[in-house]
Amino acid sequence: MANILVFYGSYRSDRAGIRLADYLVARLAARGDTPELIDARAVGLPMLDRMFKEYPAGTAPPEMAALAAKIRAADAFVFVTGEYNWGVQPGLKNLTDHFLEEWFWRPAAIASYSAGRLAGARANSAWHGILAEMGMAVVSSTLTVGPIADTLDPAGQPIGDAGEALERAFARFADDLAWWTEATIAQRARRLPPY
């Protein structure tokens, strides 16, 4: 199936959103995909000074070069985002901005969360434009999870009515991403991207 990178961007010490990232990795793997969690805090890129492409060949920081190779090899992306003051998480945005051409011509899906009932919807919406500008085909299905503590337990397992609703919504989300992933793989095999 597909090689999918799942990006998570919180740098906070008590990160509840990692539950959603873990849930998505597990559910995508159960569907037969090969997901990998990319945790911005663990990667630890500095605040953006130079993009990967702006380093002379072989001189980019090793963690940046390794991530660039993973992005280029991926078939699709999932961005798991919280919402900070009606906006996107700076850690995830900073990681994403280090790359550009590496993202091109692949689909991306967005899953957002918050401690409250709005479930990160404003950040979810903002990421659509950001990812499209960076050359990704953003799928229309999204996940919004909130309150996250009432939806997923610390191990990323669904709980209660909210967890059941997430399970139902995940199927459409994953099917949408799979359709676009298959389409872009087939198109890239048939014809090289125009740039």
| Contact yes or no for 92/9 (Cβ under 8 A) | yes
Two tokens, residue 90: 């700076």
pLDDT at 192: 87
Whole-model pTM: value is 0.96
Within-domain flag for 110: yes
Within-domain flag for 148: yes
Residue 194 has pLDDT above 90, yes or no: no
Calculate the average pLDDT of the chain. Answer: 96
Distance of CA 37 to the CA centre of its chain: 9
- Cα 180 to Cα 13, 26, 69, 106, 187, distances in angstroms: 35, 20, 21, 8, 10
Q: What is the DSSP string of 117-158?
A: TTTTHHHHHHHHHHHHHTT-EEEEEEEEE-SGGGTB-TTS-B
Within-domain flag for 40: yes
pLDDT at 106: 97
134: domain range? 3-190
Give the integer Cα–Cα distance in Å for 51 and 166. 36
Within-domain flag for 175: yes
pLDDT in tens, 79-118: 999 998 889 999 999 999 999 999 999 999 999 999 988 8
Number of structural domains found in the chain:
1
Two tokens, residue 28: 């995508």
Within-domain flag for 195: no
Residue 69 has pLDDT above 90, yes or no: yes
Residue 55 has pLDDT above 90, yes or no: yes
Mean pLDDT for 57-84 is 97
Under 8 Å CB-to-CB from 54, ≥6 apart: which residues? none
CATH of the domain at 18: 3.40.50.360
Nearest to 103 by CA among 39, 159, 52: 52
